[in-house]
Amino acid sequence: MPFALPHYEPPDFNAPVLCRAPLARFEPAPADGVVPDGYHATSIFPEYFHLSPGLWRLAADSRMDCVVSRAADGSLLVKEFRRVRSGELIAVGRGENGEEGIYVHAEPFPVTSEVSDKFAFRTRVSRETSFSIDYDELYPLLHYERKNGFILWVLGPAVTFDRDARDAFAGIVSRGYAHGLLAGNALAVHDTEASLFRTALGQDIYSKRLTPLGHYKHLDTINTVRRIGGLREAVRQGLIKDGIMRSVILRDIPMVLAGSIRDDGPLPDVIADVYEAQDRMRALARQATTVIAMATQLHSIATGNMIPSFRVMKEKEAGEETIRPVYFYTVDMSEFAANKLADRGSLSARSILTNAQDFIVTLDRGLKGYESGAGQG
């Protein structure tokens, strides 16, 4: 069946507790990067602020662990602590149910559970969980998002270590199922190594045979790309003939390669300044409507911290605003890695516990089937 977005249910501001709610309070920041005592920290959920009698305003473009600044025109801006300037009016109050003029709307897209048992087995995601439905729901979702949303991929290097997985993801990109990419130095290095030498960290990406002096391959790759001036120039000159980086660059998809303390090289395209990388990641995250994070615990958690559970969208023709959910999938073999995302506040993330290479090959095959079947068009 074609994908349809769920309906957003706004809060009932006529409910007695919200009718009687006081106005939200805002106090000046005492210094640059410092917020008032009792500040309100944002969550992944839609949050409304009572600005004048009967007027509740949604803080759009929200994300967790930020504060809300009230501008001179009354608009609300969600900011990281380090971006706050002295004297800015910052929302204070830690009540979440209107008692301090702030309402955190935790069920904006209500779902009904078919089971009401107080005791049940298999209520948590594990490697024994059935994931067939997750794939079947992903195909129409990604087909919809290809034209109507912004699909953001967060990748670890594992997807480049297997020939079929690498080819599959390059195909997914070339068919329009990627609008942004977040990764680190390793993904780009090993994908380029695969193009130059058919290896990843010196191991053949199909046969798994180790090559002589294989531990030099990724370093040779970095040195070659540094000499030539960067990944885009390497693609332009035909040095990179296939793979993920080539597909991303040829389609002009924005990507952020965030540096790490353990990077070799790194490639010239890697952003070494952590806060510049964070800003660039956040710029893409603020556009995302579906996120798929695979086999990269730190990048997944970092992205999860930048992603709310909702997105305010403006209709192009009518100019009206609608509110839709943001879909977040995390794919990893490790239950610990998948659960870590929820532990860090990304409560809306759905986990698929499997090898990232198997996942992407299965996803590619399923998308092709969906395209050629009922989902075509």
Interval 55-85: pLDDT, tens: 999 999 999 999 999 999 999 999 999 999 9
> Cα–Cα distance between 370 and 139 in angstroms, integer?
7
Q: Residue 70 in 3-state DSSP?
A: strand
Please report the pLDDT score of residue 113 as a whole number: 60
Please report the pLDDT score of residue 377 as a whole number: 45
Please report the pLDDT score of residue 18 as a whole number: 97
Q: Residue ranges per domain, the chain?
A: 16-104, 132-372
Amino acid at 132: S
Please report the pLDDT score of residue 119 as a whole number: 73
Residue 39 has a CB neighbour count (10 Å cut-off) of 18
In the numeric block, which tokens belong to residue 98?
């209107």
Please report the pLDDT score of residue 321 as a whole number: 85
CATH of domain 16-104: 2.40.420.10
In the numeric block, which tokens belong to residue 137?
């729901």
Beta-sheet pairing, 199-200 with 203-204 = antiparallel
Whole-model pTM: value is: 0.94
- N-to-C CA span, the chain: 13
Which homologous superfamily is 132-372 in?
putative lor/sdh protein like domains (3.40.50.10690)
Please report the pLDDT score of residue 317 as a whole number: 57
Closest C-alpha among 33, 36, 42, 30 to residue 92: 36
Q: Residue 178 in 3-state DSSP?
A: coil
> Cα–Cα distance between 194 and 241 in angstroms, integer?
10
Per the CB < 8 A criterion, the answer to whether 309 and 325 are in contact is yes
Q: Residue 59 in 3-state DSSP?
A: coil
Write down the residue that tokens 């540094």 correspond to. Answer: 226
> Cα–Cα distance between 238 and 290 in angstroms, integer?
32
In the numeric block, which tokens belong to residue 245?
């980086």
Instruction: Name the DSSP class of 356.
Output: H
**Using one digit for the tens of pLDDT, what is the confidence trace for 195-243?**
999 999 999 999 999 999 999 999 999 999 999 999 999 999 999 999 9
Residues of the chain with pLDDT under 70: 1, 112-116, 118, 123, 315-319, 342-347, 374-377
